[in-house]
Amino acid sequence: MEVSPGPGAAQTAEGPFIQTLAGQRAGRPPLWLMRQAGRYLPEYREIRGKAQSFLDFCFNPQLATEATLQPIRRFGFDAAILFSDILVVPYALGQEVSFESGEGPSLAPLQTAHDLARLAARLDLGRLAPVFETVERVRASLPRATALIGFCGAPWTVASYMIAGRATSDQHPARLFAYREPELLQRLIDLLVEASVDYLDRQFEAGADAVQIFDSWAGALPAAELARWGLAPVTRLIRDLRLRRPGARIIVFSRVVSSQLLELAGTCGADAIGLDTIVDPDWAAGAVQPIAPVQGNLDPLLLLAGGRGLDTVVDRILAAFAGGPHIFNLGHGILPDTPVENVQQLVRRVRGSG
């Protein structure tokens, strides 16, 4: 697919992805993949070395624009997702954030009222200026039918990294903090709700057509805690963003929320609900899709494995959601070892040409 700036470059998208978010269904579902830019692509590995750290890469509009566009050129996805990271928000609140190569993120852990008081009272949008420049550049380079998705982490998921200071397998430090210091956590969550509204609003201003809120660690919480730290802040974030930007198109992806998925879909106010890998498509077609358009939910490991099993499950997901609005996606991000040919196979299958 040709991706180039110039005359006729659109400021907003109006293709199948946007129509699906509006609740329409026409033919094959639109397709994009979480983490569609990244290490599984040889062209990404080639440009990754041009910036020193991962944050330098995210804050270089030329490189971040290129990384965002690479999967669109190769696969012609219906949406591009801004190349950045959820942890630029703690960075723009004044927390120290870095990425050691191969080790994941590293932050100065937030543990006390003193640590919280050292954060800025409001997001420093100036520190994020390169991100907004990337959004502008990408939007100007995309065809009109291709949407640009901006994003942020949900308050709980971002807080969990701010508290632990690193990746963990189960967000144990943040969950413990929630029990020991609920008032401090509430203040941090409130700060992140406001920061996220500012951040997403500015991404729309720069040209994003939709945004996705990633609550990747919602499922680490027991039900009552999830209601307080996961669902309530996301609902407030969406409400406050809509007060500023009534037409904002918003997808919520809350991972592993099991029994509270229906409550989320019914109350959070998002335009579409992301389904993770564990959700049964047949169940979701009956229970979630009548409430809101759905997005998902192929297992990224099956995409890595490939073969005929991949086709079978893609067909099953397509069939399950064929009766209503559906955006085809994975149930979580692409894994770095995924063969590019398997992604090509998936694209052909979803498009009905392979």
Question: Which is closer to ligand 1CP, CB of 40 or CB of 285?
Answer: 40
Which of 54, 59, 77, 199: binder of ligand 1CP (CB under 6 A)?
A: 54
Could you say which residues in the range 21-40 bind ligand 1CP, by CB under 6 A? 34-38
Six token digits for residue 177? 């903090």
Q: Rounded to whole angstroms, what are the CA distances from 151 to 287, 311, 347? A: 26, 29, 23
Residue 334 DSSP code = P
Binding window for ligand 1CP (CB under 6 A); candidates: 80-88, 220-228, 263-271, 337-345: 80-88
Q: Are 171 and 217 in contact (CB under 8 A)?
A: yes
Half-sphere exposure of 133 (CA within 13 A, CB side): 13
**Measured from the CB of residue 330, what is the shortest distance to ligand 1CP in angstroms?**
10
Which residues are identified as catalytic?
A: 35, 39, 48, 85, 161
**Listed ranges 97-105, 133-141, 176-184, 311-319: which one lies at the site for ligand 1CP (CB under 6 A):** 97-105
The interface mask with ligand 1CP, positions 166-195, x = CB under 6 A, is: -x----------------------------
Integer angstrom CA distances of residue 170 from 163, 182, 269: 13, 19, 27
Task: Please say which residue, 119 or 164, places its beta carbon nearer to ligand 1CP.
Answer: 164
Q: At which residue do the structure tokens 């008081």 appear?
A: 117
In the complex with ligand 1CP, which residue's Cβ is closer, 170 or 205?
170
Within 145-164, which residues bind ligand 1CP (CB under 6 A)?
151, 153
- Tell me the site size for ligand 1CP, rule CB under 6 A: 20
Give the C-alpha separation, 347 to 72, whole Å.
Answer: 12
Residue 341 burial class via C-beta count within 10 angstroms: exposed 0-12, middle 13-18, buried 19 and up: exposed
Q: What is the dihedral of CA 4, 71, 330, 171, to 10 degrees?
A: -110
Question: Tokens 């397998």 belong to which residue?
Answer: 169
Q: In what order do the strands lie in the sheet with 210-215?
A: 79-81, 147-153, 210-215, 250-254, 272-274, 294-298, 326-330
Q: Is 101 exposed, middle or buried (0-12, 13-18, 19+ CB in 10 A)?
A: exposed
Residue 295 beta carbon to ligand 1CP: minimum distance, rounded to whole angstroms:
13
Alpha-carbon gap, residue 114 to 110, rounded angstroms = 9
- Contact pattern from residue 302 through residue 341 relative to ligand 1CP, giving x for each residue in contact according to CB under 6 A and a dash for the rest: -------------------------------x--------
SS3 call for 90 = helix
Which CB atom, from 307 or from 336, has the smaller least distance to ligand 1CP?
A: 336
Smaller CB distance to ligand 1CP: residue 121 or 167? Answer: 167
- 90 touching ligand 1CP, by CB under 6 A: no
What is the contact mask toward ligand 1CP in residues 192 to 221, using x (rule: CB under 6 A)?
----------------------x-x-----
- The residue from 85, 198, 209, 271 that contacts ligand 1CP (CB under 6 A) is 85
Residues at the contact surface with ligand 1CP, assessed by CB under 6 A:
34-38, 54, 81, 83, 85-87, 99, 104-105, 151, 153, 167, 214, 216, 333
